[in-house]
């Protein structure tokens, strides 16, 4: 039976899975696992990437009947992966908040320099100059999941507003507005934490 399905395309596999040949879904999993894993690795810690990638495929399987073929299957799967990452951060946010004390001494020095910047332009320059993933991850983890995802997609991954909108299931206008608001929220988080640390 396996040899019968050797050379069929995604659309045919999807039709067969929908019609009860559920074992064939594994072909899609094998074909797209590196695609999904690379997306997930960009958005969640490595230790959780396998779990979120698995969740992505479970969701894809369960909602396969809703796949309309208006976009390529890998694009549809990417949207599910991004939403699974967003849900991961939603769960993390409910579970705990990352303390500022978890940062290294070098990162704390960067935060001190950033907080000392007197003007908005100087603050923005300090933030733009920062390449410390640990600091960004700390601050991003304190954002609402949707805010985090839009910032990462647009500013870290370099996606256009249109691409980010497609992945998030939002309008382009919402991506632009949310990205702007999210940058402001990120600034507020850093400043508020710094103020709290200085008040102690």
Question: Do 182 and 193 lie in a common domain?
Answer: yes
Q: Are residues 69 and 158 in the same domain?
A: no
Same domain flag for 89 and 104: no
Q: What DSSP assignment string belongs to 8-57?
A: --HHHHHHHHHTT-GGGHHHHHHHHHHHHHHHHHTTS-HHHHHHHHHHHH
Q: What is the mean pLDDT of residues 43-60?
A: 94
Q: Residues 150, 85: one domain?
A: no
Examine the domain organization and report whether 74 and 108 are in the same domain: no
pTM beyond cutoff 0.85: no
How much of the chain, in percent, has pLDDT values that exceed 90? 47
pLDDT tens-digit readout, 86-95 = 999 888 877 6
Domain end position, chosen among 71, 96, 121? 96
Range of the domain at 10: 1-96
CATH number of the domain that residue 5 is part of: 1.10.1740.10
pLDDT (mean) for 141-154: 88
- Among 96, 116, 133, the domain-final residue is 96
**pLDDT beyond 80 at 124:** no
The reply to whether 110 and 198 lie within a common domain is: yes
- 177 lies in the same domain as 109: yes
Short-list 87, 110, 89, CA closest to 100? 110
Residue 26's pLDDT is what?
A: 94
């Amino acid at each position: 039976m396996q040899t019968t399905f050797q050379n069929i395309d995604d659309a045919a596999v999807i039709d067969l899975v929908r019609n009860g040949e559920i074992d064939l879904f594994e072909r899609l999993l094998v074909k797209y696992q590196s695609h999904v894993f690379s997306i997930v690795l960009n958005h969640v810690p490595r230790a959780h990437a396998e779990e979120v990638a698995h969740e992505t495929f479970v969701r894809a399987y369960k909602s396969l009947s809703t796949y309309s073929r208006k976009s390529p299957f890998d694009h549809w799967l990417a949207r599910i992966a991004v939403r699974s990452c967003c849900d991961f951060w939603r769960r993390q946010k409910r579970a705990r908040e990352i303390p500022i004390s978890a940062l290294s001494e070098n990162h704390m020095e960067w935060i001190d320099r950033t907080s000392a910047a007197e003007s908005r332009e100087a603050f923005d320059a300090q933030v733009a100059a920062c390449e410390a993933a640990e600091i960004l991850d700390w601050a991003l983890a304190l954002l609402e999941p949707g805010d985090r995802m839009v910032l990462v997609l647009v500013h870290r991954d370099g996606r256009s507003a249109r691409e980010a909108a497609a992945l998030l299931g939002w309008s382009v206008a919402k991506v632009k507005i949310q990205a702007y608001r999210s940058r402001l929220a990120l600034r507020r988080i850093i400043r508020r934490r710094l103020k709290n640390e200085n008040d102690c």
